[in-house]
Amino acid sequence: MKFSATRGALAAFVLSFSAVAAQAQENPECIAPANPGGGWDFTCRQVGKSMQDLGLIDKTMQVVNLAGGGGGVAFAEVVNKRNDEDDLIVAASTATATRLAQGAYPGNTMDQVRWLATIGADYGVIAVSADSEVDSLPALLDQIKADPTSVSVAGGSAVGGWDHLKVLIAANAYGISDVRSVKYIAFDGGGEAVTQLLAGSVQAFTGDISEAKGFVDSGDIKVIAVLSPERLPGEFAEFPTAREQGIDAIGANWRGFYAPGDMSDEAYDAWVSKIADLYASDAWKDVMAANGLAPLDLQGAEFQSFVADSVAQIQAISREIGIIK
């Protein structure tokens, strides 16, 4: 009798967990904290499509673009208004950790949300328009050295954000003593930043390989440096690294998701499991290869610790180059 009762209770728990887990994805929604065309938008849309194709979710993932404040508008929306929703996830990246590290989301900290999992890492790039006379990273940085006002660099993160930091790290490595002289223009997402580059409003773009790929394929821009330790494989092998041009600058942008802070444990575990299943699939490996994503497989508590470490490291970098005190 005791065994039967225990087994019955366990079965009831499993059924209850399954019901909650299913409900968590009943109306799946992903917030992309920027305008369409950037890395956060790519993260939501590609993951949503791949999850549905693999049968991990039954319905189409609703993607909501909520731009502003380098992700701060979306973060505040989740924390203040949607903190207990089980079917909501939010695209995040190193840019998110950067803004949190610098206190750029007023009154908000990383512990107010739950960190789910990563889907890979996206190396940074510096690019110019296809018809630009600039053909290398040293050539661009020489122009900045000679006259900082002559070159505006566009990125999809706020001032002091990860896109901004990437070009500052490259400038610092090249010997530009006052990296604050680099003229950076912030836009809400990499897509908008590239649009301004093509319009001639700025002279260079700093972002990630996944953001740049479509514009490279269309012949609109050329990548003059990838911020990776060595050349990327496959179709990205043609892009030179900053390091091989004598500039020791590395910038990897992890991509993943966070969830509302009061999401139920059952829903949280279900999302973590589904993202892990997605990451392990051959279909996602193909997506990673096609978009230049490097391996990075972190889930649940391990990812939470990783984000905490990232925040601490970025705070140290930001102090070193004078972004924060």
Q: What is the pLDDT of residues 161-216, one digit of tens each?
A: 899 999 999 999 999 988 889 999 999 889 899 999 999 999 999 999 888 888 99
Which residue among 252, 267, 289 closes a domain?
A: 252
Q: What is the pLDDT of residue 20?
A: 46
At residue 219, the 3 state secondary structure works out as coil
Q: What is the pLDDT of residue 4?
A: 45
Query: Per the structure block, which two tokens stand in for 40?
Result: 């956060």
C-alpha to C-alpha distance for 119 and 299, rounded to whole angstroms: 9
Residue 78 and residue 108 in one domain: yes
Are the C-beta atoms of residues 123 and 227 closer than 8 Å to each other?
yes
Q: What is the pLDDT of residue 180?
A: 87
Residues 50-73: pLDDT tens digits?
A: 999 999 999 999 999 999 999 999
pTM (2 decimals)? 0.79
What are phi and psi for residue 282, nearest 5 degrees? -65, -35
Which residue among 202, 226, 252 closes a domain?
A: 252
Residue 17 has pLDDT above 70, yes or no: no
Residue 99 and residue 153 in one domain: no
| DSSP secondary structure letter of residue 232 | P
C-alpha to C-alpha distance for 212 and 226, rounded to whole angstroms: 11
Are the C-beta atoms of residues 153 and 184 closer than 8 Å to each other?
yes
* Residue 325 placed within a domain: no
Residue 117 and residue 128 in one domain: no
Q: What is the pLDDT of residue 85?
A: 97
Query: For the chain, how many structural domains are there in total?
Result: 2
Residues 283-311: pLDDT tens digits?
A: 999 999 998 899 999 999 999 999 999 99
Residue 237 and residue 132 in one domain: yes
